[in-house]
Amino acid sequence: MKILTQWLREYVPGISVSDKELADDLTLRGIAVEGVFDLGSHGSLFDMDITTNRVDAMNHYGIAREAATIYGLQLQPLETALPAGRPGHIYPVSIEEPALCGRFTARVLRGVTIQPSSGGVAERFRLLEQKLISNAVDATNYVTLAMGHPTHAFDLDRLEGGIILRRARKGEKLRTLDGIERTLDTEDLVVADERQALALAGVMGGWDSRVTEETKNILVEAAWFDPVSIRRSSKRHLIHTDASHRFERGADFNALPVASALVSRLILQAGGHQEGEMVDVVIPEAAARTAHRSSIAFSVGEARRILGATEDPAGITAGAAETILTGLGCTLQKQVQSDEAYQVTLPSWRLDLAGEIDLIEEIARVYGYNRFRNTLPAFAGGVVELPWAAREAVLRRTLLALGLSEAVSSTFVAAGDAAAFAPQPGSFVPLGNPLSEEAGVLRPSLAPGMLTMLTLNLNRDVENAALFEIGTVFGGSTDRVEERPALAFGITGSTGAHGPHQPAQPVSFYDLKGVVEELLAKFASKLVYFDRFPGESGLMPAWLHPGRSARAVVDGATMGYFGELHPDEARRRKLKQTIFVGEIYLDRLYRQGLRHPMARELSRFQPVRRDFSFIFPESVPYARIEHAIAALGIPELRSFAPREVLRDPQGKLVPVGHYSLLLGAVLQSAEGTMREEQLQETAQRIMTALHAAGGSLRG
């Protein structure tokens, strides 16, 4: 953004410092001047970077207000007086969408002369490298540069009936000022007359109602539009204008009459007159949440407590706080109970201010951060770890030991990723005013970010990558956002070579399964198993390969899912290399205590081995078998594991649709040598459990 210092000094005549010092002082207060260019007798040109929350400073008058506050000077009021008008009828304005348009003003100018701009307007446009169009159009652009509120001029003779603020009709067409005919969406707000849409509200005017050399009568519009609606229309039609840039960040609700008067003054300088009074339609609900917000309590003592000591022994005084806040546009009312307590009414142009802490930040900013001592604020409490800090440390240490590298991804994801990766359909939270379509939703899962990081590695020729991220995911709704911790991990490429005779091998599902097993083994549990569901069941995440993925279950609770990335998702992300990814619900895992290794005296008695040969249907996973044996709680059972698995597609050795499983058990007592009757009884309990799990003894 370009700012002329000569223009600033007209608004604050008492500035005594040089342009270079002014640039430094503004930058120290967060109004960044990135370049100062000498214009000779015209002063300097500031190249500025204004943050998105400071729409009030995206103009000359707003920056002049900052300068006046910094130096304790008087800001000159804007001259809005108009020549005496002639009587006329009230121009009809109807707001059919009060949620999208909170205020609309209309002023009729008749007998105007349309000609090229000259004088100060033309000179300042030349210095700012702005394109000159005509005195009427230039007036609206000039006022936007001057005090920040966008306006628009319509050719009044091209309008039929009054102005209507409504949603666009389905399939309605509008040729905008850039000459492009656009098909409007029913979510678009338009400024229309009784016949057609005249402008895409807050974004761009229409071709058919534009001001031309033949224009004799003008309708000057100044309005306030809902920021979210303007941003969506701007993004939908791929139009970014000075007007949309300001409206979508929250314009000043009270600036409309001032902007309308300034534009009208410039146009009437070439001739013409105002007819009737300005029409001003206000929606009370919009005014209440912008210009008429409730006052907030403010204490100078609280400001001193938070900001700490200053280089000046006097510190932040009540007088200094009053001067700064009043200069920024706040109205202070001192409370009876204390000379340092106030009720503060916020200015209509500072929608970024909402609470006492915002006022304290403004005081610190204008007072000067460099004027505070380099000391830490007082702290009376103690550092308290989060309840799951120890568990998180174990997870991080284990993953690093396994060769994974920790990474951090964005908290925001695209709506498409949120819908595809949300644990429950629709359980994600969209942002009211996102920075971009690619970051419009709070992430409901860490998996999209993990895939993005793996993709970035592959696109930069890093073929072997193993990453993990521990972070927060979000669910619920906009009204009530729920946060929970989660863990995501992903691997791709190949494992490292372990010698000349052991070349590197491509990573597989079992490498990822080993990572999950190592993690879950760190937590105390009675039973851990893995299973999966058929793809058509809808019970497995859609972003995982239906036949190469698994669910991790601890003591009956689902802890997460992992496996190979679904081919459709890989194609969507243009991934040609196989990716293995997973996510663990840490809020559930943290309910398990950490496993603490304990030394146990070795038994002095002979272990006994028993084998069990059973046939199971293919529908019976090994997890069910393992669970059935663990549920017996046999203290003498030291180990139980499969020794041989046999399948026969011909059905000669094992029936088709079944598999033969040889299970080996090691039994050992710490109290004495196990007798035959004990062994038989234990073996019978194991066989009964295997029968109950769906198996039959192999003959």
Q: Residue 166: is its pLDDT beyond 60?
A: yes
Same domain, 576 and 635: no
Q: What's the number of domains the chain is made of? A: 5
Give the C-alpha separation, 50 to 352, whole Å. 14
Annotated binding site: 352, 358, 361-362
User: Is 674 inside any structural domain?
Assistant: yes
Q: CATH no. for residue 337? A: 3.30.56.10
User: Is 596 inside any structural domain?
Assistant: no
When comparing pLDDT for 264 and 505, which is higher?
A: 264
| Both structure tokens of 438 | 């690619």
pLDDT on residue 375 = 79
Q: Residue 600: is its pLDDT beyond 80?
A: no
Q: CATH no. for residue 479? A: 3.30.930.10
Same domain, 284 and 302: no
Q: Residue 498: is its pLDDT beyond 70?
A: no
Give the mean model confidence (pLDDT) for residues 614-634: 89
User: Is 163 inside any structural domain?
Assistant: yes
Task: Report how far apart, in Å, the C-alpha atoms of 142 and of each of 37, 253, 612, 631, 699 are.
Answer: 21, 19, 90, 80, 95
pLDDT on residue 623 = 80
pLDDT on residue 378 = 67
Same domain, 419 and 449: yes
User: Is 673 inside any structural domain?
Assistant: yes
Same domain, 243 and 147: yes
Q: Residue 15 — pLDDT band, cuts 50, 70, 90? A: very high
Q: Residue 499 — pLDDT band, cuts 50, 70, 90? A: very low
Supply the range of the domain harboring residue 448.
389-497+504-589
| Both structure tokens of 488 | 């995501």
Same domain, 53 and 113: no
Contact present, 493 and 577 (Cβ < 8 Å): yes
Give the C-alpha separation, 454 to 582, whole Å. 13
Kindly report the average pLDDT of the chain as a whole number.
Answer: 92
- Point out the domain boundary residue: 560, 589, 618: 589
When comparing pLDDT for 447 and 476, which is higher?
A: 447
pLDDT on residue 251 = 95
Same domain, 181 and 204: yes
Output b/e per residue, 671-695; b: 16+ Cβ within 10 A: eeebeeeeeeebbeebeebbeebeb
Contact present, 431 and 456 (Cβ < 8 Å): no
Residue 3's CB is within 10 A of a number of other CB atoms, namely 25
Which among 504, 507, 510, 497 is positioned nearest to 577, based on CA atoms? 507
Question: Across the strands, what pairs with 163?
Answer: 93
Q: Residue 535: is its pLDDT beyond 90?
A: no
Contact present, 509 and 502 (Cβ < 8 Å): no
User: Is 285 inside any structural domain?
Assistant: yes
pLDDT on residue 201 = 96
Same domain, 412 and 490: yes
Q: Residue 495 — pLDDT band, cuts 50, 70, 90? A: confident
pLDDT on residue 515 = 95
Q: Residue 428: is its pLDDT beyond 90?
A: no
Give the mean model confidence (pLDDT) for residues 643-648: 92
- Point out the domain boundary residue: 262, 289, 316: 289
Same domain, 37 and 114: no
Give the C-alpha separation, 687 to 446, whole Å. 43
Q: Residue 521: is its pLDDT beyond 90?
A: yes
Q: Residue 59 — pLDDT band, cuts 50, 70, 90? A: very high
User: Is 602 inside any structural domain?
Assistant: no
Give the mean model confidence (pLDDT) for residues 522-527: 89
Same domain, 202 and 168: yes
pLDDT on residue 501 = 57
User: Is 86 inside any structural domain?
Assistant: no
pLDDT digits (tens, 9 = 90+) for 195-218: 999 999 999 999 999 999 999 999
The SS3 of residue 145 is: helix
pLDDT digits (tens, 9 = 90+) for 328-353: 999 999 998 888 999 999 999 999 99
Give the mean model confidence (pLDDT) for residues 147-156: 97
pLDDT on residue 377 = 63
Give the C-alpha separation, 274 to 217, whole Å. 10
Annotated binding site for Mg(2+): 352, 358, 361-362
Give the C-alpha separation, 242 to 55, whole Å. 11
Phi, psi of 16 (to 5 degrees): -100, -15
Same domain, 407 and 270: no
Q: Residue 376 — pLDDT band, cuts 50, 70, 90? A: confident
Q: Residue 479: is its pLDDT beyond 90?
A: no
- Point out the domain boundary residue: 589, 621, 649: 589
Q: What is the dihedral of CA 383, 388, 389, 392, to 10 degrees?
A: -160
pLDDT on residue 686 = 94
The DSSP output letter for 124 is H
Q: Residue 366: is its pLDDT beyond 90?
A: yes
Look-up of token digits 């729920």? 482
Q: Tell me the HSE value of 506 on the side-chain side, using a 13 A CA sphere.
A: 7
pLDDT on residue 497 = 46
Instruction: List all residues 6 or more positions away from 427 whose beta carbon is below 8 Å from its beta carbon.
Output: 444, 475, 476
Give the C-alpha separation, 191 to 501, whole Å. 76
Q: Residue 222: is its pLDDT beyond 50?
A: yes
Rg (Cα) of the chain, in Å, rounded?
A: 36
pLDDT digits (tens, 9 = 90+) for 176-193: 999 999 999 999 999 999
Contact present, 350 and 329 (Cβ < 8 Å): yes
Q: Tell me the HSE value of 211 on the side-chain side, using a 13 A CA sphere.
A: 25
Contact present, 260 and 278 (Cβ < 8 Å): yes
- Rounded to two decimals, what is the model's pTM? 0.63
Same domain, 166 and 253: yes
| Ramachandran sector of residue 405 (left: φ over 0; alpha: ψ -120 to 50; beta: rest) | beta
Give the C-alpha separation, 466 to 586, whole Å. 20
Q: CATH no. for residue 643? A: 3.30.70.380
Least confident of 285-289, 373-377, 613-617: 373-377
User: Is 81 inside any structural domain?
Assistant: no
Same domain, 197 and 274: yes
